[in-house]
Amino acid sequence: MTRAPAWYRWAVLAGVWVLYAAFGLVATSLSPLVLLIESDLNLTHAQMGSTMGAWQLVYIFSAIPCGILLDRLGSRTALTIGVLLIGASAFARGNATSFTELVMAVMLFGLGGPIISAGAPKVVTGWFKGSSRGLAMGVYMTGPAIGGIISLTMTHSVLLPAFDQSWRDVMFLWAGMCMVGAVVWLGISSHPAMRAGSEEQTASSSLPHGQVLMLLIKQPAVLLVLMMSVGVFLFNHGLNNWLPELLRSAGMSLVEAGYWAAVPTVIGLMGSLLIPRLATPGRRFNILIALSLCAAGASILLHFQFEPLLFSGLLLQGIARSALMTVLILTLIELPGIGEQYVGVASGLFFSAAEMGGVLGPVSLGLLYDITGGFDFGLYMLTAIAILLAIGAHKLRGLAGYSKISQ
């Protein structure tokens, strides 16, 4: 492998961070614009929920092929394609004139998103070892969090006033940011060590991808991780997408709701840097249980309009969202026999399963709101899911040591 300077792995991590920040900008871009888009395109809450869940539906079918594509093309080319597709999704959203066009535009994100999601852990696994791997995963996960903060806090307070209340111009801005991210990544990944590293990882895989996939899904620990991933994404995507509207329905203005909805993201930034680093094999399952219980507590406290309780709920949500997904992915890729050579396929499988929850979350909360006229029943559902995640983490503790892939 071509030798790279010691600092280069941190430059690679910075490049991945930029791509994931662009991911976060576009993934959260619809959430603060719900009322404007519903009014402009004459949509119901259920239709808007379906729209916000459309890209996760595509994820289910595209994540595994994208993971395989990542192994074949290498991280430099594949991640560039991924962020360009995300930018194209934002641009198409800005041009949508109907429910169908908006859904199709959002679905395009489901082709680019999984390349970034599966590519980030693959890159980190190749360039970081030991305890620094958890730190690196936590660092790049701050990317979508910061992207989300920018989207949630700046949309109503800065961007819409600057763009004469045009939600379409906001989308065009995010599309431009994705183009900038692609240029940054191409520049950082131009070092020969990046190409050599990708080739070395691909060559180390001794089994065809299809066979690896079959062996993975036969492992009890892998299956449990996949089931838990559905619950994690259902909770996160459902609550993240509807949180500004949930807060607005509690009596806040649009600007206030945007700032309050950013609280879990800010807390998540700190948690992303600390918690994955602490999630060594000996602590990992206790941390998963604690994070699941934080999620349950958050969904309970969000029922209240009393601001100290509401803030506490947002605080717990931030702790849960900061690391649940990261620690679960770390658990998967460090199961015996997976490691660097199969991380592309394993990550693709993870996101393919997880995005089933990503679809169900926004859609189910939107439907329950239309049926009941509020978010209470949706929050009850999220509480039950979080409790099941805690039970699953306890069970996973006993299974993790027995999962392997025959060489």
Winning range, highest mean pLDDT, from 145-159, 194-208, 223-237, 355-369: 223-237
Are 399 and 305 spatial neighbours (Cβ–Cβ below 8 Å)?
A: no
- Say what the pLDDT of residue 337 is: 62
pLDDT at 49 over 90: no
Which position has the higher pLDDT, 259 or 106?
A: 106
- Say what the pLDDT of residue 290 is: 95
Give the other-Cβ count within 10 Å of 316's Cβ.
23
- The CA–CA distances, whole Å, from 53 to 140, 193, 241, 318, 367 equal 24, 38, 9, 21, 12
Closest CA to 213 of 71, 358, 396, 394: 71
In the numeric block, the tokens 């807060």 are attached to 247
Q: Residue 117: how many CA atoms within 13 Å on its side-chain side?
A: 31
131's CB contacts (< 8 A; 6+ apart) are 277, 280
Give the other-Cβ count within 10 Å of 117's Cβ.
25
Q: Residue 372: how many CA atoms within 13 Å on its side-chain side?
A: 13
Q: pTM here?
A: 0.77
In angstroms, the CA 149 to CA 240 distance is 11
Q: Which 3 state secondary structure label does DSSP give 253? A: coil
Q: What's 8-402's CATH class?
A: mainly alpha
- Say what the pLDDT of residue 340 is: 63
Are 122 and 261 spatial neighbours (Cβ–Cβ below 8 Å)?
A: no
Question: Using only C-alpha atoms, what is the Rg of the chain?
Answer: 20
Q: What are phi and psi of 338, to 5 degrees?
A: -95, -80
Going by pLDDT thresholds of 50, 70 and 90, the confidence category of residue 198 is: low
Are 127 and 273 spatial neighbours (Cβ–Cβ below 8 Å)?
A: no
Q: Which 3 state secondary structure label does DSSP give 257? A: helix
Give the other-Cβ count within 10 Å of 5's Cβ.
9
Task: Give 60-91 pLDDT, tens digit per residue.
Answer: 888 888 888 887 788 889 999 999 999 999 99
As a whole number, mean pLDDT of residues 146-173 equals: 91
Chain Cα centroid distance, residue 2: 32
